[in-house]
Structure 1
Amino acid sequence: MNTVYSALLTGCISFAATNIDDIFVLTALFLQSNSSKRKAYIVVGQYFGMCLLIILSSIGTFGALIIPRTWLGFLGIIPIYMGVKMFYTKDEEKPNSRNVLTDLSTYKVMLIVIGNGVDNLSVYIPLFAQGQWIYKTIIVTMFLILTGVWCWIAYKAIHNPWLGSFIKKYGHLTVPITLIGIGGYIMLEAGSFYMLVK
């Protein structure tokens, strides 16, 4: 029983501590989507990205991360590109009948999540390297539940009365700036800028 409580507490604290910045990422993504279809691919992409981070962490417990962290940092180019594009083009809501699983936008969100979560691997790898299978299963379950909670918090944040009025006035500037800042942070933290300069 102590193992269960320990895993629940560890899972919650680890996720919250390493994914605070994901709230801002999700909020920025939800801000630029007005249709329920586009909100769906954000949620699915977030889950895909988190699942891949869990898989990478599990592989890392064997001491063999296939892709170096510096290279994963180059995924920061994606939110930078999205932010710059938003400055020059108006984001029109187009009818989209594609399934979220086959929509390219889903995988763009997934890559942003992975890039933003590269620094989390240093916490997740030792976390998944310890304990019995029940311990690891509980932590993974908590991560998946809290991913949904994070999406809900970000979605509710954009419907806040004060924040909503602010977004109507300045959203066209704050969203691309946020995305560009996130992309730059991802590359900086992973050491990708240093590799480019070198």
Structure 2
Amino acid sequence: MGLSLLGQAVAMFVVTNIDDLLILAVFFGRACGEPAAAWRVVAGQYLGLTAILAVSVAGALGAGLLPGSVIPFLGLVPLALGLKAGWDAWRDRGGDDEDATPATAGVLRVAAVTFANGGDNIGVYVPVFAVAGLGGMTVYSAVFLAGTAVWCAAGWFLATRPVIARALSRWGHIALPVVLIAVGLLILAEAL
């Protein structure tokens, strides 16, 4: 179970944070190679992710007050979010996302953008954490914190590789709904 849980945590982090990777690339691009500005981006990303994890863990612990037979039905949340994200991606196909570009790279701005952008992730994390239990939440949290370091490094890398950033921007909106729907269905499968 340990290796399986670790793989699930890595996969969930990657899929639910693809959009964060692109936003990080934009923030790092705006840092213009200034080390202090880059560290503000890193600090803001960690602050935002820590807030997302805190809300998710609190929600999962609150869900622990529910009868065990109800918890798998929390999978309806990521399923609904995935369907909405899929609908939004289909509706906005061919649209331009330039108005969503972050402006500056201050710690609080990066944290706020990370938290706002990851708000939908909370709806995914709460039911997964509730099913995973305390040990599972610890693994997920540790993977997400380590993944953030990788994401920051990758965001910095992408900030200097516009071709890669354009490819992720083009396909990330398709991967997210598919994975959210899959996560929701897997959680619902626990009810069977």
Question: If the TM-score is normalised by the length of the shorter chain, which range does it land in?
Answer: 0.5 to 0.7
Unaligned runs of 5+ in 1: 1-8, 129-135, 192-198
Q: Which moved more, 1:148-157 or 1:69-78?
A: 69-78
Residue identity in the other structure for 1:157: A
Match of 1:113 in 2: 121
- 1:53 touches 1:114 (CA, 8 Å); kept in 2? yes
1:73 positional shift: 4.0
Q: RMSD across aligned C-alpha pairs, in angstroms?
A: 4.3
SS at match of 1:106: helix
Change (3 A) 1:107 1:23: same
Matches within 5 A, 1:159-198: 159=156, 167-187=161-181, 189-190=183-184
What secondary structure sits across from 2:65 in the alignment? coil
Post-superposition offset of 1:144: 4.3
Matched residue of 1:88: which SS?
Answer: coil
- Cα 1:57–1:176, aligned 2, differ >3 Å: closer, same or farther? same
Aligned pairs (5 A) from 1:149-164: 149-159=146-156
Task: Give aligned pairs, total.
Answer: 167
If you compute each CA radius of gyration, which structure gives the higher value, 1 or 2?
1
Q: Within 5 A, what are the aligned runs for 1:1-150?
A: 14=5, 16-24=7-15, 25=17, 26-34=20-28, 35=31, 36=38, 37=40, 39-63=42-66, 68-76=74-82, 77=84, 84=92, 87-90=95-98, 92=101, 94-95=103-104, 99-100=108-109, 103=112, 105-117=113-125, 120-121=128-129, 123-124=131-132, 127-128=133-134, 143-150=140-147
* Structure 2, gaps ≥5 residues long: 32-37, 186-192
TM-score (norm 1): 0.57
Q: Which whole-Å deviations, capped at 9, do the CAs of 1:118-171 have from their partners, x for residues lacking one?
A: 5623642xx23xxxxxxx6xx7666544432110012223455xx777x42242
Question: Counterpart amino acid of 1:154?
Answer: W
Question: Does the CA-based 8 Å contact 1:30-1:155 persist in structure 2?
Answer: yes
Where 2:114 maps in the other structure, the secondary structure is helix
CA distance in structure 2 between the aligned counterparts of 1:154 and 1:74, rounded to whole angstroms: 26
Q: Structure 1: which amino acid aligns with 2:11?
A: I
